Structure 1
Amino acid sequence: MPHSSRRPRKPYHPKRIISESEDGWSRVERTAPTRHGSTPLIQETLPPVDRSLTVQKLSEEHKRCKQQWVESDTRQWLQQLLAMQMPEGGWPLNKALCVALGSPSLSWANRLRSVWQLVMFMDMVETVQTKLNHANELKLYAQEPRFTQLDKDFLESLTVAVLEQPGAEQLVDESSLIFIPCLEWVLELPFMLVAAKSPLYVSSSMHWVAEEAERARHRLNNNPEGSNRLQKDCDDALAASKAVLDTHHENKMPEADFADGHSLAMTIYTLKHEDDD
């Protein structure tokens, strides 16, 4: 016979926590119930490397995706945009940084998205390169904590140098093309702080960054033990996102679904000319 005095257990709703790991990148955790409250529980680990892949197979995928990209309306839109907003003689760039690309070789659903993003990054660099007055080619760099050795070998075959954290943060300057497909706003902040003077900055959205920073600041205001460092990050992110919007043309890339079922939806920020309104 059941104990009528026993109270029914309340349903547990796990909370999503985004924390910064030791390597400086974000980590998503969820809480697990205990008798003393909730404790963080890492829900997922990185998937294994797809052992069927080689540098040659990744190169073939890259070529196939590049061909589809070159024939797409989205690429035509981007070419027209750059031709219209790039100054005569090109922007004063000497390097291109791709941050948070994702791993092209891990066994996960969005693996090919990394390949597509790499194709777009390299095509933009090639387009910008043709307009430069100087003969020196832009140096290409990529930084991603999930890169496997296969990823590094593949990128190096494309003359893309792989940086270890925090190499990109230390290397970025006003002469950098900055390409960040998707990254937590706190981790994107070091790049945003120089983005107001960067000629070409590709990101998710400065409006999204401002909204996320505002939400974080609101949570801190309701928490008397909130972090002073995070408070400063919120203020810096709000100021930096506003600076980018003030100094750049904002061009939202039209979404396009490619044959693999992946879509690229990013915002292109191009530095305004002195005679622009």
Structure 2
Amino acid sequence: MGIGSSVALALAAAFAVIVLTFGIARWRGRYDTIDSAWGAGFAVIAVTGFATEPRGIGSALVVTVLTAVWGLRLSAHIHLRNSAHGEDRRYREMYARARSRPQLRMFARVYLTQAAVMWFVSLPVVAAQHQPDSFGVLGVLGVAVWCVGFAFEAIGDEQLRRFKADPANAGEVLDTGLWRYTRHPNYFGDACVWWGLYLIAAQHLPGALAVLSPLLMTWLLARGSGKPITERHLAGNRPGYADYVARTSGFFPLPPKKR
């Protein structure tokens, strides 16, 4: 299978995941189901691509395993977190604003958009699955960056989960652990994961051309639907958040500023 066919297959896999997720969302009566399926969708794309383009223990296998591990952990974490609460208010508000054919509008504006982003961000994985069965210095560097990102994301998520589970922390701001050095260790880690996968793909020209994929993911996390929306919400219901913002890096981990 040529790389063009694999790109088309990745798009079909992303669309299939989104259609199935939308059906489950309607059955559950919760449109935030898309958040739970987000990471798993990347895993499906990676595994589908590897199954149709089998290679040895080179870049193809490495990016497939790394993508699946990251995606399945993220989906499990988000599903467990969201299941303990009602539906995310963002989706309730979007549904309420769509007065005419709300279900169709949710599918078109939310779910299809997620499918397109999922497919585009996955392009380095698709490219890496077509590389020769070899692994060079750039590939090793990519794995190292992925490991840093995965650690930041997983540890940051667990620290936040434990913080929220303690009733004594209600209304407080988490500023210890990784959260002492960046206000969003999970988002920073997510970006590193995709830059690591890109570096593995960049060992050869087709993969190197997919640089817009990690750039898009990083923009979404730091400037799009990630960090800005989270911070607007926290600024409104956490009295100490403004001081936390003043002394803590917004994205890249840095020592806290002295006040």
- With normalisation by structure 2, the TM-score equals 0.29
When you count strand as a share of all residues, which structure comes out higher? 1
| Bigger Rg over Cα | 1
Work out which structure has the larger RCO, using CA pairs closer than 8 Å and 6 or more positions apart in sequence.
Answer: 2
